[in-house]
């Protein structure tokens, strides 16, 4: 690849998201001015309340951990041409599975033994939920969008009933505290993070992103998954069984979402609480779209959305928190609209000789 083509590839990957962020900042400036505040003051307070102190940064890391998992869940399905809208229930199911295993293990079980078992249970439960949608798509051609939406209602209602009638402690809607499998908070090692929910499940989310990248771009299974996502008929003609790939993609997608549930259950509260996953599964769709369905892009995107989420609490004294929700929507719309336009401009700007290096 020539140096000019390499430069074009870098610009195509980096410039569009930056343009989308710039559009969101302009819209944010206008909204802030409409409330009679100075944009520089509000954005400065937002940064100070997130990345400017250890507690705020810890909250950003905690929220980004869950969003990384749900973003990867959507991306694994998306790379296979599927649309997984069920990360919300898969996340909750994974959290409950981790809590049940943590309750079942004997007190005093070493963390090195208990945590992997709880994590495996969470990922297995999420994978089972995702696999149902994948199997129905492969076997009957059922729309995974409709199936996962309906499974959200069924699963979350069932979990609510189970916790409310069988598993809750008195006068609450959460399970007893787990006896084994708890993950330490960052504040246990770095006291500056005291009070924040950030915990060492952050390492699990980053490891998941690396593993997803390795699978997608360095293995035969990942190649087949991406091939089916690009053109299932051509993949079938080449000997790849699309149905098998769809099931695998949804299993992996559900497993990623299930891991996200351990961030709350194992790392933060150490029990399962009804409704803890509210919104994280659906926001993961936005995280994956902004991250272009690339594992490393999703990590960065998760940090962006986590910063906006925590920043909304930091600036609430000056402007309504809902402004941050609007900015999140503007980022998504800008990525959907601005990215194709910027890429087209980049293609038009590339000299013809750079795109036709083959001699006549």
- Chain centroid to CA 16: 20
Burial 202-227 (b: 16+ CB within 10 A, else e): bebbbebbeebbebbeeeeebebbbb
Q: What is the pLDDT of residue 171?
A: 83
Q: State the Cα–Cα distance between residues 58 and 37, nearest whole angstrom.
A: 27
| pLDDT single digits (tens) 184-239 | 999 999 999 999 999 999 999 999 999 999 999 999 999 999 999 999 999 999 99
| Averaged pLDDT for residues 279-284 | 93
> 3-34 and 39-50 helices cross at what angle (nearest 10)?
110
CATH numbers and ranges of domains, the chain: 38-318 (1.10.3470)
Q: What is the percent of the chain with per-residue pLDDT over 90, rounded to a whole number?
A: 74
Joined tokens for residue 197:
């929910």
| Averaged pLDDT for residues 69-95 | 97
Cα R_g (the chain), whole angstroms: 22
Q: What is the percent of the chain with per-residue pLDDT over 70, rounded to a whole number?
A: 89
- Sign of CA pseudo-dihedral 29, 30, 33, 37: negative
Q: Which of 143-157, 198-212, 215-229, 332-346 has the lowest mean pLDDT?
A: 332-346
Q: What is the pLDDT of residue 243?
A: 96
pLDDT band at 360 (very low <50, low <70, confident <90, very high): very low
Q: State the Cα–Cα distance between residues 194 and 171, nearest whole angstrom.
A: 28
Tokens 């995974």 sit on residue = 144
Q: Where are the alpha helices (DSSP H) in the chain?
A: 3-34, 39-50, 54-78, 87-104, 111-140, 144-162, 201-218, 220-230, 232-237, 242-265, 280-290, 295-314, 322-349, 352-355
């Amino acid at each position: 690849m020539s140096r000019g083509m390499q430069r074009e590839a870098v610009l195509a990957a980096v410039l569009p998201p930056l343009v989308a962020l710039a559009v969101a900042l302009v819209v944010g400036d206008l909204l802030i001015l409409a409330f009679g505040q100075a944009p520089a003051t509000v954005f400065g307070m937002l940064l100070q309340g997130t990345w400017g102190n250890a507690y705020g940064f810890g909250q950003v890391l905690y929220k980004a951990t869950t969003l990384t998992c749900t973003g990867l869940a959507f991306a694994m399905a998306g790379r296979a041409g599927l649309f997984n809208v069920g990360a919300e229930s898969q996340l909750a199911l994974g959290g409950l599975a981790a809590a049940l295993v943590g309750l079942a293990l004997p007190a005093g079980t070493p963390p090195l033994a208990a945590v992997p078992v709880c994590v495996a249970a969470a990922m297995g439960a999420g994978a089972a939920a995702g696999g149902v949608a994948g199997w129905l798509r492969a076997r009957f051609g059922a729309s995974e969008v409709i199936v996962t939406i309906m499974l959200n209602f069924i699963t979350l209602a069932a979990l609510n009933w189970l916790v409310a009638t069988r598993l809750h402690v008195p006068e609450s809607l959460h399970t007893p505290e787990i006896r084994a499998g708890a993950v330490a908070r960052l504040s246990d090692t770095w006291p500056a993070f005291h009070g924040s929910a950030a915990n060492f499940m952050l390492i699990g989310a980053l490891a998941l992103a690396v593993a997803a990248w390795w699978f997608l771009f360095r293995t035969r299974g990942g190649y087949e998954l991406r091939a089916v996502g690009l053109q299932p008929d051509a993949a079938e003609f080449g000997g790849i069984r699309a149905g098998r790939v769809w099931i695998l993609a949804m299993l992996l997608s559900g497993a990623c979402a299930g891991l996200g549930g351990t961030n709350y259950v194992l790392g933060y509260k150490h029990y399962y609480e009804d409704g803890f996953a509210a919104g994280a599964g659906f926001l993961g769709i936005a995280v994956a779209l902004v991250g272009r369905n690339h594992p490393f892009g999703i990590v960065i995107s998760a940090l962006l959305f986590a910063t906006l989420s925590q920043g909304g609490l930091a600036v609430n004294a000056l402007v309504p928190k809902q402004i941050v929700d609007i900015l999140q929507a503007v980022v998504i719309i800008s990525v959907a609209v601005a990215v194709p336009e910027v890429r087209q401009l980049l293609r038009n700007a590339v000299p013809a000789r750079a795109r036709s290096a083959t001699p006549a």
